[in-house]
Amino acid sequence: MATLHASVLAPVSRSGARLTPLRLAAFSSLTLPIYAAQGPLAVYLPAIYAEHYGLSLATIGLIFLLERVWGAVADPLIGVLGDYGSSRLGRRRTWILAGAIVYAAAASTLFFPPAGFGAPLLAVALFLFYLGWSMIQIPYLAWSGEISRDYDERTRIATYGTVAGSIALLLVLILPTIIDQLRPDDAALKLASFGLVVIGGLVVTLPLTLAAVEDNGRPPVATARMPFARAVRLILGETLLLRVILSDFAVTTGQLIRSALIVFFVSAYMGRPEWASGLFLFQFVFGIAAGPIWLRISTRLGKHRTAMVGELVQVAINLGLLLVTPARFPLLLALTLAQGLAQGSGNLMLRSMVADVADKHRLETGADRTTLFFSVFSLTSKAGMAAAIGIALPLVAWLGFTPGAPNSAAALHGLLLVFALGPALAHLISAASLYRFPLDQAEHARIRRALAD
């Protein structure tokens, strides 16, 4: 068995060769414990903390927004530090291992709340949790962009990661669905099930990812140390990077507004609380199936056009929610199916596009800023998550909606408007950000030839 493990997962160099499905699956497995936390944080934890731990929606939203202020400094700093230096273990592996320790420790508090759990402890645990998340995700994303320099192979790598992440989300959605049937009011059991998936998944997948591909101890090109202020100026001067991260921020915000409100929408507006977990699960089943479909579309249309098509489809789907009433549950099911098929398009294309922009920057400047660019990408993704919760929850509260209590018709209508129009506007912004994006497959091929000379 040890011989088999060594032969199959011994690190492979970054030669540009196509990775085998098994090796790519092993490398992508680390997205499981990362994405497994995303669903509960956006969908279940705010509702559980509000209904069972006495925290107000406004307080929860404020804590998430404040965490992003902290992340606005921490994420780019990790990106700057990750682009230089060396380690015998590997510069990507070193950061990921350190981040895993912080991530697991904070997750134990979030998913297994101790006695006296309240806003201060939530704030500390959430800040440390996202710090560990960044220490894992930013080097991992940069590493994934370095495995191959090929335009389409990068999309394939991103697709594996997206599908693995969707499987993780599917798993953490199956658990509360089962718990709702067996012990519907056991919030502590739901939190514990999430925690076991996140922490247990990290223990299993971390060694698989670290062993899957080579991690060179030094950057591929010499990269000088960069002060933080200069890093900010560099980012602001990279127009293509700004367009990609704006698109990613918008798509993440749209998806997470929907995720943050779906439990409230299905339970309170539709009057179908027994479907709250199952409907979200239904969406992600189709999301997993859609990943390879969008990969095939991207080889025909290119990454940015594929992302635009997917985002515009999601605009139409979310506007269609305005037609949903409690008596039109089949329409909600149909729109949820369509949402699942469309939701992965932007995420996987944008992630792959960051590495292409980093190649362009390396050709123009001679410096490898892959980690820095992915740190900003990671920051905007998490900022989109925090913005969704920090805006959507206080907004529906301001419109009169109260979780777990009788609500007026006006309050429920306000919930519908935020649930439908918020994501629609966000996905429209995401598509507009990529209009006439110049870095297509032909331009990237020219850049790769120039870098090879």
**CATH code for the domain of 123:** 1.20.1250.20
Task: Identify the CA nearest to 79 among candidates 391, 370, 304.
Answer: 370
pLDDT of amino acid 92: 85
Cβ of 96: how many Cβ atoms within 10 Å? 24
Q: Provide mean pLDDT across the span 291-317.
A: 91
pLDDT of amino acid 10: 45
For the segment 159-183, what is each residue's pLDDT rounded down to a tens digit? 888 788 778 877 877 887 788 778 8
Evaluate whether residue 222 is within a structural domain.
no
- Please check the confidence at residue 421 and state whether its pLDDT lies above 90: yes
CA–CA separation, 197 vs 167, rounded Å? 12
Evaluate whether residue 452 is within a structural domain.
no
More confident residue, 14 or 346: 346
Output the average pLDDT for the chain. Answer: 84
For the segment 44-72, what is each residue's pLDDT rounded down to a tens digit? 788 888 888 888 878 888 887 787 777 77
Q: Which two tokens stand for residue 59?
A: 């307080």
Evaluate whether residue 217 is within a structural domain.
no
Element (H, E) at 436: none
Evaluate whether residue 3 is within a structural domain.
no
Evaluate whether residue 16 is within a structural domain.
no
CA–CA separation, 103 vs 353, rounded Å? 27
* Count of structural domains within the chain: 1
Residue range of the domain that includes 383: 27-208+229-445
Which range has the worst mean pLDDT, 122-126, 203-207, 293-297? Answer: 293-297
Evaluate whether residue 278 is within a structural domain.
yes
Are the C-beta atoms of 43 and 260 separated by less than 8 Å? Answer: yes
- Please check the confidence at residue 9 and state whether its pLDDT lies above 70: no
- Please check the confidence at residue 197 and state whether its pLDDT lies above 50: yes
Which range has the worst mean pLDDT, 12-21, 298-307, 411-420? Answer: 12-21
Confidence of residue 341 (pLDDT cuts 50, 70, 90): confident
Are the C-beta atoms of 383 and 68 separated by less than 8 Å? Answer: yes
Which range has the worst mean pLDDT, 101-105, 252-256, 340-344? Answer: 340-344
Evaluate whether residue 7 is within a structural domain.
no
More confident residue, 353 or 452: 353
Confidence of residue 403 (pLDDT cuts 50, 70, 90): confident
Evaluate whether residue 15 is within a structural domain.
no
